[in-house]
Amino acid sequence: MTDDLTPEDRSEFGRLLDEILPDLYRLARWLARDQASAEDLVQEASLRAYGRFRQFEKGTNFKAWLFRILHNHFLDQTRRGKRQAHSTDFAELEPVAPATIEGPIGLDVADLDSYVERVDESVAGAIAALPETYRTPFLLFALGDLSYEEIASTLGIPVGTVMSRLFRARQKLQGTLVTYATENGLLRPR
């Protein structure tokens, strides 16, 4: 890739990327469901965005633009992975201690760990169990703090579809988490 950006463009890209990198990584982590794949997704999305930064329309939402690049790359990887069947013997894998893992560009793993600690295992499991069509819009809304219009643009779907998928995601989560909410005092027992 040739670097035809001006020093000002490079500086602006770096500043904008630094502002959203933790959110970008969180989304990648939820999509990929493992740290190494999430780091790869963030790195590749960042490189692609850098290469296309001249195409970015200044004054629009950089976060939504980069989330779309990340999501499209994730979908490409998922499609490629389905074509390349592979298997792993999980008995041969050794767990890696969290303290030995380094975070992606500019992100301290402690930031992610503190975020994950705030999300109960039951909630994280319920979100992870959502079908992909519901999980991605939900994560863009909840973690990415994007509007319905920005989510629609990011995913390339109509706003009405975003609203419908968010509604269904909330319904599924509500059904899954009623017991959790009751046990933790978030909902009164019936």
The percent of residues above 70 in pLDDT, for the chain, comes to 75
Joined together, the tokens standing for residue 172 give: 């599924």
pTM: 0.60
Mean pLDDT across the chain, nearest whole number? 77
Q: What CA–CA distance (Å, rounded) separates 190 from 182?
A: 9
Residues near 34 by Cβ (< 8 Å), separated by ≥ 6?
none
Q: List, for residues 42-93, the tens digit of each pLDDT value.
A: 999 999 999 999 999 988 889 989 999 998 898 888 887 754 444 434 344 3
SS3 103: coil
H or E stretch covering 28 = helix 7-32
pLDDT at residue 190 in the model? 63
**181 to 34, 114, 140: CA distances (angstroms):** 27, 21, 23
Residue 147 in contact with residue 58, Cβ under 8 Å? Answer: no
The stretches in the chain having pLDDT less than 70 are: 1-3, 82-120, 186-187, 189-190
